[in-house]
């Protein structure tokens, strides 16, 4: 039995789903993979819990899930604790050969801990986009080691499938195409279920203001719907795809167009929803204009010719992106071997369970990877 | 620099494409992956060529490609040689830690060599479906070692992406879903470009006999079109997918329905093409019947509830398979997390270059895998 010690950063929705899946899959991993996943430490902004020996036992893990769901803080139960910014105690105490640090937070405060982990030779699995969309210098330190090799070599020890499309194997597909020497000329995709829902409604002739208000009420959007409609989350995904091709690009280089103009940024959420109808007419004209060109409007990320574009995009109604409706994510890879038809991936691209499943696949692959 | 010694079985179209891609990607592998792929030996039914030291050099590899394209035999150039059935000399001479045996033939004569390689701890990358669709016992010996673990553990050392959908990451996706603990309830797919072409023609109202004759004349089918229309190649792919889920199934358990009745098996190719019009009326009725049920007819492989079905299948016109037209392959994964909408993969599923690219991605992944 090969033991994989995990250091878990974050115990929000994805972290809790991940712990539940680890516990549910213990027999599978033991019998089919010869693996035991041990949770050595869990840290979040409220503190940290360290396990000794084989890690935190399953009952204690389930208790921690209950604690967090009741709004508790980890410090209450901590053997040691710290914020993400100064994780040296955790990193050194949890240190074991083959340790994997798993970041399922949504903060850039984990970056120092991740860099410290890399320096100690730990592997890393990320659902958190922030460390990969920080400066190119941070990205390079996380994913490559300057002295010994290129980007691709170190992608073997650092994985981030769940940052784009949750459990959909978008990054695995990209890495396989790159590894085969295929030339990826263009990636285009829909990477927001919320924006997919909005675009499908618009195509059906509904008003933007009405769709957004409904989606907000149903809880399909972030508490502030501008966090979806502004496109920054999709921009981070586009940047991760671009950097995965070896491009040196910063987040500020991504050309992002939101579904609302910047002057609505100063309003509160209710004022914003009330102001949305003033955008309906222009949006309707844009949709009609696309249709007149035999196209449809999608909120797409496009990575091509050294540039990343994120925003409403007219695509052929007959293309994979053009045929997409609803909240599924979709990625098109246009490459030397996949031409004229792209390689296409489609499916659920969000949700804590699908995201945790993507992280868990990465952890299992890392367990069989040599540095 | 980490050297990966390759033992190549087969130097047909895929083998030659693979050699060309290895040579073309030397800089990529050195700079980005820290890898050097050395071809230590090439064997086919005409003989074998062994390289000494770092392997066969690039000029010699290109000369061998020319030799084979001119119809030459490897024995003329062999340092040692044998048929696939008795490969002990090759396997022992080529023996190096971390060696990868690559099977790009289409014969079951390579099985003894593959088993000998596994016993010596070599890794294996297969584009050849025959070894994986032989008896369950052969499959188990190739992909797992009884003493130490289950199927999944040894999938780390034996890869076969190119056996289903060429370079499309169908197997990688399946392995990731299995590794995440997701429950795959149904896989359904179109895994023959030729049959996709036929079904698209039928849907457009053309006659079966006319489509097949045209496809045969254009070289879209095998020299004997019954090798496509009979469905056995698709049946092998369905079996590989089913066994990848841990099922114990034999090829004879796959329920295969071809596009022609068995009584046409005794004819020669010209007689077969002449006899096809007698099937047109019934096929046309089947297409109309599907349409009357709001469905479309696809030549599909379905893996579900312990059973594999391969044949003309009525699917919803609104499903991913139902929307598929042309020669692209498509795979739907219906699972616990991917429900009600499946995870879908689509793209080119054939061709020597795309197949070689799939093999090459496997080889690079194997280079970073520990046993």
CB contact under 8 A, B365 and A179: yes
Residues B68, B72, B74: CA angle, nearest 5 degrees? 80
Q: What is the DSSP secondary-structure string of B273-322?
A: HHHTHHHHHHHHHHHHHHHHTTEEEEEEEEEETTEEEEEEEEEETTSHHH
pLDDT of residue A80: 42
CB contact under 8 A, A370 and B369: yes
Residue B302's domain comprises: 184-347
Which residues on chain A are in Cβ contact (under 8 Å) with B351?
Answer: 337
pLDDT of residue B126: 97
Which residues on chain B are in Cβ contact (under 8 Å) with A347?
Answer: 333, 338, 341-344
Nearest to A345 among B24, B149, B345 (CB): B345
Nearest to B167 among A33, A168, A180 (CB): A180
Residue of A nearest to B23 (CA): A181
Which candidate in A68, A183, A237, A281 is catalytic?
A237
Q: Which of A151, A161, A171, A181 to mutate to test the interface with B (most CBs of B within 10 A)?
A: A181
Same domain? For A152 and A289 the reply is: no
Report in angstroms the alpha-carbon separations of B30 from A63, A149, B3, B51, B161: 49, 9, 10, 20, 23
CB contact under 8 A, B368 and A365: no
pLDDT of residue A76: 60
Report in angstroms the alpha-carbon separations of A77 from A22, A74, A151, A175, B242: 21, 6, 39, 40, 46
Provide the shortest C-alpha distance from residue A269 to chain B (in Å): 32
Nearest to B180 among A176, A320, A357 (CB): A357
Provide the shortest C-alpha distance from residue A31 to chain B (in Å): 6
CB contact under 8 A, A149 and B34: yes
B89 neighbors B80 (Cβ within 8 angstroms): yes
CB contact under 8 A, B31 and A353: no
CB contact under 8 A, A181 and B25: yes
Report in angstroms the alpha-carbon separations of A239 from A242, A249, A256, A302, B244: 5, 7, 11, 10, 34
What's the pLDDT band for B146 if we cut at 50, 70, 90?
very low
| Domain annotation covers residue A174 | no
pLDDT digits (tens, 9 = 90+) for B270-322: 999 999 999 999 999 999 999 999 999 999 999 999 999 999 999 999 999 99
Same domain? For A55 and A130 the reply is: yes
Which residues on chain A are in Cβ contact (under 8 Å) with B338?
Answer: 347-348, 354
Same domain? For A153 and A194 the reply is: no
pLDDT digits (tens, 9 = 90+) for A294-307: 999 999 999 999 99
Provide the shortest C-alpha distance from residue B69 to chain A (in Å): 22
Q: How far apart are CA B242 and CA B236, in angstroms?
A: 10
pLDDT of residue B145: 45
The CB density around residue A265, as the number of other CB atoms within 10 Å, is 11
CB contacts < 8 Å between A and B, how many?
Answer: 162
Nearest to A353 among B25, B337, B351 (CB): B337
Please state, rounded to an integer, the average pLDDT across all residues of chain B.
Answer: 91
- In the structure encoding, which two tokens stand for residue B26, read together? 């030397």
Provide the shortest C-alpha distance from residue B361 to chain A (in Å): 5
Nearest to B179 among A345, A346, A364 (CB): A364
Nearest to A361 among B149, B179, B354 (CB): B179
CB contact under 8 A, B361 and A173: no
Rounded to the nearest 10 degrees, the angle between the axes of helix A352-367 and helix B170-179 is 100
Same domain? For B357 and B269 the reply is: no
Same domain? For B154 and B79 the reply is: yes
Taking each continuous run of H as one helix and of E as one strand, the counts in chain B are: 16, 12
Q: Give all strands of the β-sheet with A2-9 in edge-to-edge order.
A: A47-50, A35-44, A2-9, A100-103, A123-126, A158-159
Q: What share of chain B is helix, strand, coil (3-state, %, to 5)?
A: 45, 20, 35
Provide the shortest C-alpha distance from residue A159 to chain B (in Å): 13
For B165-183, what is the mean pLDDT? 95
Residue of B nearest to A330 (CA): B344
CB contact under 8 A, A152 and B33: yes
Report in angstroms the alpha-carbon separations of A324 from A241, B15, B127: 20, 37, 32
pLDDT of residue B55: 84
Q: How far apart are CA B231 and CA B310, in angstroms?
A: 7
Which residues on chain B are in Cβ contact (under 8 Å) with A167?
Answer: 176-177, 180, 182, 337, 343
Name the one residue in this structure whose structure tokens are 């492989």.
B301
| Domain annotation covers residue A274 | yes
Q: Which burial class, exposed, middle or buried, applies to A291 when counting CB atoms under 10 A from its CB (0-12, 13-18, 19+)? A: middle
For B217-232, what is the mean pLDDT? 95
A5 neighbors A40 (Cβ within 8 angstroms): yes
| Domain annotation covers residue A178 | no
CB contact under 8 A, A347 and B357: no
CB contact under 8 A, B357 and A345: no
Provide the shortest C-alpha distance from residue A149 to chain B (in Å): 6
Same domain? For A337 and A363 the reply is: no
Question: What CATH number is associated with residue B190?
Answer: 3.30.360.10
ipTM value of the model? 0.95
CB contact under 8 A, B151 and A31: no
- In the structure encoding, which two tokens stand for residue A286, read together? 């844009």
Helix (H) or strand (E) holding A310: strand A307-316
What contacts 24+ positions apart, CB below 8 Å, involve B220-225?
B220/B193, B220/B194, B220/B327, B221/B194, B222/B194, B223/B269, B224/B269, B224/B272, B225/B194, B225/B269, B225/B272, B225/B273
- In the structure encoding, which two tokens stand for residue B366, read together? 């194997």
What's the pLDDT band for B235 if we cut at 50, 70, 90?
very high
**Least confident among A71-75, B124-128, B361-365:** A71-75
Q: How many CA atoms, within 13 angstroms, populate the side-chain half-sphere of residue B128?
A: 25
Q: Which burial class, exposed, middle or buried, applies to B326 when counting CB atoms under 10 A from its CB (0-12, 13-18, 19+)? A: exposed
In terms of Cα–Cα distance, which of A256, A136, A240, A232 is closest to A187?
A: A240
In terms of Cα–Cα distance, which of A180, A240, A132 is closest to B172?
A: A180
| Domain annotation covers residue A172 | no
| Domain annotation covers residue B178 | no
| Percent residues over pLDDT 70 in chain B | 90
CB contact under 8 A, A348 and B348: no
Q: How far apart are CA B314 and CA B295, in angstroms?
A: 6
| Domain annotation covers residue B179 | no
Q: How far apart are CA B193 and CA B199, in angstroms?
A: 10
Same domain? For A108 and A24 the reply is: yes
Same domain? For B152 and B189 the reply is: no
pLDDT of residue A145: 46
Same domain? For A248 and A316 the reply is: yes
| Percent residues over pLDDT 90 in chain B | 77
Q: Which of B25, B32, B147, B243 to mutate to test the interface with A (most CBs of A within 10 A)?
A: B32
Q: Give all strands of the β-sheet with B2-9 in edge-to-edge order.
A: B47-50, B35-44, B2-9, B100-103, B123-126, B158-159
Same domain? For B154 and B219 the reply is: no
For B5-34, what is the mean pLDDT? 95
Question: What CATH number is associated with residue B144?
Answer: 3.40.50.720
pLDDT of residue B80: 43
For B326-353, what is the mean pLDDT? 97
| Domain annotation covers residue B176 | no
CB contact under 8 A, B28 and A181: yes
Q: How far apart are CA A244 and CA B63, in angstroms?
A: 36
Torsion of CA A175, A180, A185, A189, to 10 degrees: -30
- In the structure encoding, which two tokens stand for residue B249, read together? 């199934």
What residue ranges of chain A have pLDDT lower than 70?
76-96, 145-155, 371
DSSP structure class, residue A22: H
Residue of A nearest to B371 (CA): A368
Q: How far apart are CA B128 and CA B110, in angstroms?
A: 9
Which residues on chain B are in Cβ contact (under 8 Å) with A28?
Answer: 181
Provide the shortest C-alpha distance from residue A263 to chain B (in Å): 38
| Domain annotation covers residue B21 | yes
Which residues on chain B are in Cβ contact (under 8 Å) with A348?
Answer: 337-338, 341, 343
Q: How far apart are CA B74 and CA B46, in angstroms?
A: 6
Which candidate in B36, B129, B237, B281 is catalytic?
B237
Nearest to B173 among A28, A169, A333 (CB): A169
Residue of A nearest to B167 (CA): A177
Same domain? For A236 and A121 the reply is: no
pLDDT of residue B54: 72
Residue of A nearest to B35 (CA): A153
B329 neighbors B196 (Cβ within 8 angstroms): yes
Q: Which burial class, exposed, middle or buried, applies to B135 when counting CB atoms under 10 A from its CB (0-12, 13-18, 19+)? A: exposed
What is the domain count for chain B? 2
Nearest to A32 among B151, B341, B370 (CB): B151
In terms of Cα–Cα distance, which of B303, B313, B295 is closest to B257?
A: B313
Provide the shortest C-alpha distance from residue B354 to chain A (in Å): 6
Q: Which of A149, A337, A365, A367 to mutate to test the interface with B (most CBs of B within 10 A)?
A: A337
DSSP structure class, residue B107: -
A6 neighbors A40 (Cβ within 8 angstroms): yes
> Is B68 known to be catalytic?
no
Same domain? For A196 and A232 the reply is: yes
């Amino acid at each position: 039995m090969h033991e994989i010690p995990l250091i878990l950063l974050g115990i929000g929705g994805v972290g809790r789903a991940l712990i539940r899946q680890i516990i549910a899959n213990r027999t599978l991993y033991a019998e089919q993979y010869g693996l035991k996943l041990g949770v050595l430490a869990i840290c979040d902004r409220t503190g940290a819990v360290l396990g000794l020996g084989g890690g935190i036992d399953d009952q204690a893990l389930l208790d921690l899930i209950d604690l967090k769901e009741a709004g508790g803080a980890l410090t209450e139960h901590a053997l040691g604790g710290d914020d993400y910014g100064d994780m040296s105690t955790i990193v050194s105490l949890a240190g074991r050969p083959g340790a994997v640090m798993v970041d399922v937070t949504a903060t850039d405060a984990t970056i120092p801990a991740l860099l410290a982990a890399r320096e100690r030779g730990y592997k890393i699995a990320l659902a958190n986009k922030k460390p990969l969309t920080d400066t190119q210098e941070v990205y390079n330190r996380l994913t490559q080691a300057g002295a010994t090799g290129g980007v691709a070599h170190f992608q073997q020890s650092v994985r981030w499938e769940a940052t784009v499309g949750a459990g959909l194997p978008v990054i695995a597909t990209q890495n396989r195409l790159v590894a085969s020497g295929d030339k990826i000329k263009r990636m285009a995709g829909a990477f927001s279920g919320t924006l997919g829902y909005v675009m499908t409604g618009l195509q059906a002739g509904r008003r933007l203001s009405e769709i957004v208000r409904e989606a907000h009420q149903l809880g399909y959007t972030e508490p502030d719907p501008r966090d979806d409609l502004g496109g920054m989350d999709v921009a981070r995904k586009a940047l991760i795809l671009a950097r995965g091709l070896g491009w040196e690009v910063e987040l500020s280089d991504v050309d992002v167009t939101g579904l609302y103009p910047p002057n609505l940024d100063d309003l509160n959420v209710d004022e914003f929803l009330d102001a949305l109808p003033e955008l309906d007419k222009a949006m309707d004209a844009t949709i009609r204009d696309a249709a007149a060109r035999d196209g449809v409007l999608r909120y797409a990320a496009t990575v091509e010719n050294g540039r990343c574009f994120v925003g409403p995009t007219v695509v052929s109604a007959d293309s994979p992106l053009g045929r997409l409706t609803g909240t599924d994510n979709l990625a098109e890879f246009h490459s030397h071997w996949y031409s004229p038809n792209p390689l296409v991936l489609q499916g659920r691209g969000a949700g804590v369970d699908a995201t945790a499943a993507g992280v868990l696949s990465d952890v299992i692959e890392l367990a069989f990877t040599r540095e």
